Amino acid sequence: MKDHLTYVTRMAERARLEPVPDVHAATAVMARLRSEVRQNDLVLAWMAAASAALAAGVSAYSLTILRALSDPLATLFQMSATLIP
């Protein structure tokens, strides 16, 4: 265990002696992250719009079926229309 700790300590000492590179990658990284987020947001927005449109259609259809099924005299009128010429 002591060998591993010594190895890590020596490696950390050598890393401190190296000069720090003069590179500023934060701007490029943030720009890439923002572009990826915008693409993902666009896909999610289209999926939400499609699901909302489908839900509106299903609810309109179900309301017409519910209205037809909840009328107690609908069956009587349908039977009388087919039996009476």
Parse the chain into domains and list their residue ranges: 2-83
Confidence class of residue 71 from pLDDT cuts 50, 70 and 90? confident
Question: What are the Cα distances from residue 71, in Å, to 64, 66, 74, 83?
Answer: 11, 9, 5, 20
Give 15-60 pLDDT, tens digit per residue: 889 888 788 888 888 888 777 666 678 888 999 999 999 999 999 9
pTM of the model: 0.44
* DSSP, res 84: -
Q: Which residues contact 68 (CB under 8 A, 6 or more apart)?
A: 74
Q: Are 68 and 74 in contact (CB under 8 A)?
A: yes
